[in-house]
């Protein structure tokens, strides 16, 4: 059995702090939003792709007896954003910029597909939702997080929900030729594999590590984490047999969403020492071994450069993070 994710230290008090969690209408993200509310954060922004599902989640959160007693008057707001659309992210950002500052952002929304399905933007869905869109969203949120740090006098947090599946990728890094663009390589249908979800999380952790090295941890603490195997509806898009196999596995071995969400809350409330770290089971853990090699470090740097270049092209309104 997986070790228990530690409790949130009693000293964590988010009074006066604003928080945004993507994919917070259900699963781990929903429980993460509930934890932030129980820690007295307000407002908590539920960044979701369906406002109907967001409103239903908001109602449940505000009816929570602990939230009602410990965070009376807590504000929960719904923001619509579809990570399968760069235009939706740009529209979300234009509107959300009105909040002027933010203290914590947890980029949790994610998907898994075992088939190559292009979005209307022409990118493979898992690559776009789990990787490119999180990178784009993060660049839009960074100025708000920096402003939140100035206003509160303490660093803000940007936490990316990754996965230990990053340890299991089969792509041959050497098969990406030096002159090839990494994003185009992964977007090429010929290079799509059943490990696409795992690859998307490896890219996300690599990007996070590089991001953290560019932004001072006195401004924004940037890290990524894995919540472990959690009993959610994450297998919705999996092939029939796998979906039912995973349902059995999750019912026997998985953590509750509440416990999984603690991994997110812990990563999003570390001190500056947590910047650039990867967490699993609520503890600092090495990321995919490849990212620690010299080849992996060079790959990570190139990935960062090419990702920034691409998101600037896809959304010229995105502010350069450095
Ligand atoms: N469950 C696990 O065992 C596990 C393990 C490791 C890592 N994770 C990671 O944990 C995160 C949350 O997963 P979960 O288990 O809570 O899964 P989930 O219950 O399926 O929740 C996923 C969330 O992401 C949202 N989402 C999906 N596509 C989106 C899009 N295009 N735009 C905006 N939001 C979108 C979903 O919105 P809708 O409700 O509208 O679909 C939902 O709110 C994911 O990043 C996942 O990779 C999960």
Residues whose CB falls within 8 Å of the CB of residue 100, separated by 6 or more in sequence, listed in order: 144, 147
Verdict on whether the full-model pTM lies above 0.95: yes
CA distance 257 to 115: 26
Q: Is the pLDDT of residue 95 over 90?
A: yes
- 321 band by pLDDT with thresholds 50, 70 and 90: confident
CA distance 187 to 30: 30
Structural domains of the chain sorted by starting position, each given as residue range(s) with its CATH number in brackets: 19-229+257-314 (3.40.50.720)
CA distance 65 to 59: 12
CA angle 187/189/192 to nearest 5° reads: 80
Q: Is the pLDDT of residue 64 over 70?
A: yes
Q: Is the pLDDT of residue 173 over 70?
A: no
Q: Give the percent of the chain with pLDDT over 70.
A: 99
Residue 214: what pLDDT?
A: 97
Active site members: 197
Q: 202 CA to middle of ligand 1, Å?
A: 16
Q: 108 CA to middle of ligand 1, Å?
A: 7
Q: Is the pLDDT of residue 65 over 70?
A: yes
pLDDT tens-digit profile of 104-145? 999 999 999 999 999 999 999 999 999 999 999 999 999 999
What mean pLDDT comes out for the span 3-19?
96
pLDDT tens-digit profile of 174-189? 688 889 999 999 999 9
Ligand 1 binding pocket (C-beta < 6 A) is 23, 25-29, 48-50, 53, 82-84, 108-111, 129, 161, 163, 226-227, 229-230, 232-234
Residue 1: what pLDDT?
A: 74
Q: Is the pLDDT of residue 203 over 90?
A: yes
Mean pLDDT across the chain, nearest whole number? 96
DSSP line for 100-147: ---SEEEE------SS--B-TTSSBHHIIIIIIHHHHHHHHHHHHHHH
Residue 2: what pLDDT?
A: 84
- 322 band by pLDDT with thresholds 50, 70 and 90: confident
pLDDT tens-digit profile of 297-316? 999 999 999 999 999 999 99
pLDDT tens-digit profile of 66-85? 999 999 999 999 999 999 99
Q: 30 CA to middle of ligand 1, Å?
A: 10
């Amino acid at each position: 059995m997986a070790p228990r994710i530690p409790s949130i230290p009693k000293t964590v008090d988010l009074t006066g702090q604003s928080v945004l969690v993507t994919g917070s209408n259900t699963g781990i993200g929903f429980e993460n939003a509930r934890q932030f509310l129980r820690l007295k954060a307000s407002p908590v922004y539920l960044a979701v792709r369906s406002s109907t599902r967001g409103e239903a989640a908001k109602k449940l959160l505000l009816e929570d007896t602990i939230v009602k007693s410990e965070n009376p008057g807590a504000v929960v707001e719904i923001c619509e954003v579809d990570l399968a659309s760069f235009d939706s992210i740009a529209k979300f950002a234009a509107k959300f910029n009105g909040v002027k500052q933010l203290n914590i952002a947890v980029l949790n929304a994610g998907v898994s597909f075992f088939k190559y399905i292009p979005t209307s933007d022409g990118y493979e869905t898992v690559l776009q939702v789990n990787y490119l869109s999180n990178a784009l969203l993060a660049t839009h949120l960074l100025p708000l997080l920096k402003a939140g740090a100035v206003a509160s006098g303490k660093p803000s947090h940007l936490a990316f929900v990754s996965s230990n599946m990053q340890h299991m990728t089969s792509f041959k890094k050497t098969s990406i030729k030096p002159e090839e663009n990494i994003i185009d390589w992964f977007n090429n249908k010929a290079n799509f594999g059943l490990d696409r979800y795992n690859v998307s999380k490896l890219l996300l952790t690599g990007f996070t590590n590089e991001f953290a090295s560019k932004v001072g941890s006195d401004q924004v603490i940037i890290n990524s984490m894995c919540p472990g195997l959690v009993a959610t509806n994450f297998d919705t898009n999996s092939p029939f047999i796998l979906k039912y196999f995973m349902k059995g596995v999750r019912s026997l071995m998985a953590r509750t969403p509440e416990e999984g969400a603690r991994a997110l809350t812990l990563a999003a409330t570390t001190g500056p020492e947590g910047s650039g770290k990867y967490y699993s089971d609520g503890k600092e853990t090495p990321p995919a071994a490849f990212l620690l090699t010299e080849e992996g470090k060079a790959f990570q740097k190139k990935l960062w450069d090419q990702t920034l270049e691409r998101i600037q092209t896809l959304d010229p309104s995105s502010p350069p993070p450095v």
